[in-house]
């Protein structure tokens, strides 16, 4: 007993201060890729190396359209390894949660020379709007009644709709002494009838489609749905096939999307707090 107490005192406080303080990340942590689009002269090697099709190109009429979908990206780093120009770099950025998954898409248009390389950057879009037209004040899309009802407390029901359990490992970590989710007034519950939020992982398998729909219907209003990871946002590497429906929003409405494969606990915290309106949505890495 005394040894345990001594160990506790010697260890001290291990709980992180995030989101009130910047996260302490490992030097080896790999976050989202960043694309230096204005200086990028050939996107073909990186696009060919992308295993999920998150990075794609389309040539037409002397124009090349390069699209990066962070909702499909698994942060593997293959695009950075394939690109020798230095225009693609892996970062440690993880705060990518958004309320509209269209905002996870970057599209750049270039003039293309006769040898297939990119010349002038013609236009850059984030989601459905040009980047230059984005405003600093981001509109909250979660209904005001949710904030008034939930206040600063939240009950979460986690739903595994067919994941590989990678996201579940990170979600479980939210309850350990390091992340200590309950310090923010947030806790997990066993029944959707007691929940304010559904945290859904995995590409929705056809065997889980009805179960997810029933869970959504059993959750009382007002409620928030968060799609976790590349699989939850877009179907990920599994996509849509005979066994999977694909993205969570193909079955139930989704309020917030958290990219990653899997998203680390910090990213999960960021997405959950974004859904509650406690923090603002950030820009994609450019």
Strand partners, 105: 69
Say what the pLDDT of residue 151 is. Answer: 56
In a domain, 93, yes or no: no
Axis crossing angle, helix 166-173 with helix 265-275, rounded to the nearest 10: 80
E strand or H helix at 217: helix 209-218
Task: Give the alpha-carbon dihedral of 233, 235, 236, 238, to 10 degrees.
Answer: 170
| Domain count within the chain | 1
Give the separation between CA 90 and CA 32, rounded to whole angstroms.
Answer: 6
In a domain, 195, yes or no: yes
Whether the Cβ atoms of residue 90 and residue 77 lie closer than 8 Å to each other: yes
Other Cβ atoms within 10 Å of 197 Cβ, number? 26
To 5 degrees, how large is the angle CA 184–CA 189–CA 190? 165
Give the separation between CA 252 and CA 248, rounded to whole angstroms.
Answer: 6
In a domain, 260, yes or no: yes
Range of the domain at 212: 144-275
Q: Which residues of 27-36 are buried (b: 16+ CB within 10 A; e: fewer)?
A: eeeebbbbbe
Give the separation between CA 48 and CA 56, rounded to whole angstroms.
Answer: 8
In a domain, 88, yes or no: no
In a domain, 233, yes or no: yes
Give the separation between CA 223 and CA 255, rounded to whole angstroms.
Answer: 9
In a domain, 104, yes or no: no
Give the separation between CA 184 and CA 186, rounded to whole angstroms.
Answer: 5
In a domain, 99, yes or no: no
Whether the Cβ atoms of residue 5 and residue 170 lie closer than 8 Å to each other: no
Say what the pLDDT of residue 130 is. Answer: 43
Say what the pLDDT of residue 279 is. Answer: 64
In a domain, 45, yes or no: no
Strand partners, 98: 257
Task: Average pLDDT across each block of 10 residues of the chain; the chain has 286 residues. List them in order.
Answer: 73 78 84 89 92 92 92 92 90 89 91 88 72 37 48 84 93 91 89 93 94 94 92 90 92 94 92 79 68
Q: What CATH number does the domain containing 150 carry?
A: 3.40.50.12280
Whether the Cβ atoms of residue 94 and residue 32 lie closer than 8 Å to each other: yes
Q: What global pTM score does this model have? A: 0.85
β 197-201/154-160 pair status: parallel
DSSP3 helix / strand / coil % (the chain, rounded to 5): 30, 25, 50
């Amino acid at each position: 007993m005394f040894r345990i107490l001594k160990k506790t005192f010697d260890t001290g406080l291990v709980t992180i201060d995030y989101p009130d303080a910047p996260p302490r990340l490992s030097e080896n942590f790999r976050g989202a890729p960043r694309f230096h689009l204005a200086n990028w002269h050939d996107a073909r090697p990186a696009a060919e190396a992308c295993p999920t099709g998150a990075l794609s190109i389309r040539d037409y009429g002397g124009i090349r359209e390069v699209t990066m979908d962070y909702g499909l990206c698994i942060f593997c780093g293959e695009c950075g390894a394939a690109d020798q120009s230095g225009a693609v770099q892996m970062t440690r950025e993880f705060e990518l949660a958004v309320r509209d998954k269209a905002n996870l898409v970057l599209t750049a248009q270039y003039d293309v020379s006769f040898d297939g390389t990119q010349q002038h950057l013609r236009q850059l879009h984030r989601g459905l709007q040009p980047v230059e037209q984005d405003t600093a004040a981001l509109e909250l899309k979660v209904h005001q009644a949710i904030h008034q009802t939930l206040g600063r407390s939240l009950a979460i029901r986690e739903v595994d709709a067919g994941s590989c359990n990678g996201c579940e490992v990170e979600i479980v970590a939210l309850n350990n002494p390091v992340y200590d989710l309950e310090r923010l007034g947030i806790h997990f519950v066993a029944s959707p009838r007691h929940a304010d939020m559904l945290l859904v992982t995995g590409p929705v398998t056809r065997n889980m489609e009805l179960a997810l729909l029933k869970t959504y219907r059993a959750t009382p209003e007002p409620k928030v749905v968060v799609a976790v990871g590349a699989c939850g946002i877009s179907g990920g590497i599994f996509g849509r096939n005979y066994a999977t429906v694909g993205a969570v929003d193909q079955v139930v409405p989704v309020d917030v999307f958290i990219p990653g494969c899997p998203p680390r606990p910090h990213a999960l915290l960021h997405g959950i707090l974004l859904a509650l309106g406690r923090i603002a949505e950030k820009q994609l890495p450019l």
